[in-house]
Amino acid sequence: MRINVARLHYLLQISRSGGVLAAAEAMNLTPSAVSQQLARLEAEVGVPLVDRTPRGIVPTAAGRELIELAENVEREVNEAALRVGAASELPSGLVRFGGFQSFVSGVLAPALPRWRSDLAGVDLQVAEADQNELLRGLRSADFDLIAVEFDEAVTPAPLSAGTREVALLDDPWVLVAPAGTQAAMGLVQLETLRFPWLELGGGAGALSAVTRIRENLPDSTTASHRYVNHQTALALVAAGEGVTLMPKLALQEHSLSGVETHELPGLGVRHISLRYRLGRKPHPAVSAAVEFMRTFTAGVDEAQDQSAR
C-alpha cells in the first residue's frame, strides 16, 4: 500500500468541516476536486475511509487512523516550519537539483517564475540526468535534491541511511498510437492492436510499465526501432512504426501531430517523488525547495484530475 501523503490534507479538512462541500469551500476548491482526492486516497488504501449518513460524513475506523496520521503530519510540518523560520526568516543558499526530462520541463521549468518570487534567496542549480545518475549523484553529495520516478509495479530499493523521500504526484501512463487508430478499430483495446510495440532504451522511464502491460499481451509484436527520449517516440509513432506508453505529463510538452493518445483502464501510473539527504543540521534552503515543489505539484495533480473528467 502506497499513500500519497498530500491527499491526507483533503481527508483531514473533510473531517474538520463535516463534509465535502464545506471542505471544498474552506480549501477554495470545487466539491468534485475534493471528492476525487478522497476517492483516490480510498483506492490507495483499499478500504472506505468515510461513511455517508443523513447527518453528514462520518470517518470509518480506517479513516480515523489516517486522520490521526494527517494531524501528526500537519503538526510535524508546522513545527518544522517554525524551526526553519527560527534559523532564518527567509531561506537562502544554493540547492543543486537533479531531475529527469519530463519533470524538469513539465513541472520545474513552469514553476521557476514563482520560485524566483517565493524563494528569492535560494539559488537553484538544475541538471538533467537519467535515474541511475541521479541516485549516484545524491549518494555522492553532487546533488542536494533529486526527483525520481517508478512505475506502480516497481518496488524501489530501501532508502539508504540519512535519505528521505517525499511523494509528489501520480502521473498516468497513456497509450500513444498512430493517428487514425481509433477510427480504424472503433474502441481501442490493447489485445487487438495491429501495431508493434516500440523498444525502449534501458534508461527510458516507461520501460517497466511497457514490460508490465505486455506480459498480459502474449501475441504482441516488437518493432525494429528503439528510442530513449519522448520526442523520438512521438516521431516514430506518427510515422506508423508502432505504439508505446508515455507519461501524461510528458505529452503536455510536445506536439501531438500524427498521433492519438488514450487513457485506458489498467495502464496504471508512475509515482514521482523527491529524495534528499538529511544531514546533521537541517538545510533551510533544501527544506524550502521540498515544500515549494510539494505545494506546486499538488496543483499539477489537481489539474490532471480535472482534465481526466
What CATH number is associated with residue 237?
A: 3.40.190.10
Query: 303 falls in which pLDDT band (50, 70, 90)?
Result: low
Predicted TM-score (pTM) of the model is: 0.66
CA angle 160, 156, 99 (to 5 degrees): 80
Q: What is the pairing mode between strands 197-200 and 222-227? A: parallel
Q: Which residue range forms the structural domain that includes residue 240? A: 171-269
The enclosing domain of 10 has a CATH number of: 1.10.10.10
Q: What pLDDT, on a 0 to 100 scale, did the predictor assign at position 279?
A: 73
Query: 5 falls in which pLDDT band (50, 70, 90)?
Result: confident
301 pLDDT more than 70: no
306 pLDDT more than 70: no
Check whether residue 196 and residue 246 sit in a common domain: yes
Check whether residue 73 and residue 205 sit in a common domain: no
Check whether residue 153 and residue 295 sit in a common domain: yes
Give residue-wise pLDDT tens across range 80-90.
776 665 555 67
Q: How does the average pLDDT of the chain come out, rounded?
A: 88
Number of domains in the chain: 3
Check whether residue 226 and residue 259 sit in a common domain: yes
Last residue of a domain, one of 52, 83, 114: 83
Last residue of a domain, one of 254, 269, 284: 269
Q: What pLDDT, on a 0 to 100 scale, did the predictor assign at position 80?
A: 76
Check whether residue 212 and residue 263 sit in a common domain: yes
Check whether residue 200 and residue 252 sit in a common domain: yes
* Closest by Cα among 92, 148, 149 to 123: 92
In angstroms, the CA 270 to CA 277 distance is 23
Helix 8-17 / helix 61-87 crossing angle, nearest 10 deg:
110
Q: What pLDDT, on a 0 to 100 scale, did the predictor assign at position 304?
A: 54
Query: 233 falls in which pLDDT band (50, 70, 90)?
Result: very high
Query: 263 falls in which pLDDT band (50, 70, 90)?
Result: very high
In angstroms, the CA 181 to CA 194 distance is 9
Check whether residue 296 and residue 249 sit in a common domain: no
Check whether residue 157 and residue 178 sit in a common domain: no
Q: What is the pairing mode between strands 269-277 and 222-227? A: unpaired
Check whether residue 36 and residue 114 sit in a common domain: no
296 exposed, middle or buried (CB, 10 Å; 0-12, 13-18, 19+)? Answer: middle
Check whether residue 56 and residue 107 sit in a common domain: no
242 pLDDT more than 90: yes
Check whether residue 186 and residue 238 sit in a common domain: yes
Q: What is the mean pLDDT of residues 81-101?
A: 78
Hey, which residues does 274 pair with through a beta bridge?
147, 166
Check whether residue 159 and residue 287 sit in a common domain: yes
Q: Given the C-alpha cell 476517492, which residue does it identify?
A: 39
Last residue of a domain, one of 26, 59, 83: 83
Q: What pLDDT, on a 0 to 100 scale, did the predictor assign at position 1?
A: 61
Give residue-wise pLDDT tens across range 146-188.
999 999 999 888 898 889 999 999 999 999 999 988 766 677 7
